Structure 1
């Protein structure tokens, strides 16, 4: 498929899922990635035949050893430089024990403040969006490092406010 007079196929996007796992004490589960050393909520690429919630449960368990229940979608985030659309879900822990994986060099339960301090802006905002009480998911775009101008958090009653 082409558009606007282009002669080749349009670039494709990949879809990833991530879980912001929140304990009763308000701490959130995070990993330090083995490939780049950054702190993030656990997640990864959704498999082709996999349901969204199943992908979140699988990715969180594979990277952390924690089994989760998926509560709700809290945000959709597009990395415009890499063509990745990430769907982020708020989750609750349901068992398991923290462990490292090939993809993580540390697993920890961070306060929201610690998560904001350790994570890059594009990951910290995912945690903060998931901790909000409203049920309207955020829709944001970023370049891999920073949120883009015009990226918004949609609020109840169709009001939008800039980030």
Structure 2
């Protein structure tokens, strides 16, 4: 199962959610050091026509939650971003990591043989094969909202950079002497 699409997708979601958890921890620490509440981040958004920070966190988590629910024929958890404070956002990320681990354990790639229909506004819908659902819907939406959350943190003065965003690779970094 080392080359399993589902295992690889689960690992991507899990490691990037761990990165998101780290970004939230960093933001909280820095805001508290400034004697400011991280709750001020809750209204931040990149543009007037975009959803604010809590929505970006919840929408990031929606993709792995929907993936895990689809894999296990379950209903995905639903969370109203407006009901979450900063601590609630952090909990939501951890809950998502746990849900994905629980729901995808023991599932094999045959689930990708199923189709996925997504209903859109205006009575429209889009259908995907399982592989396309992962590659063309879940992962692009996941990264869009993850990067938007990252960008909002940067915009609000949180001192993070690419190393924070790419923290999932830290265990792979080697020195030249290690070769």
Structure 2 length-normalised TM: 0.27
Larger radius of gyration: 2
Structure 1 length-normalised TM: 0.28
Choose between structure 1 and 2: higher strand proportion: 1
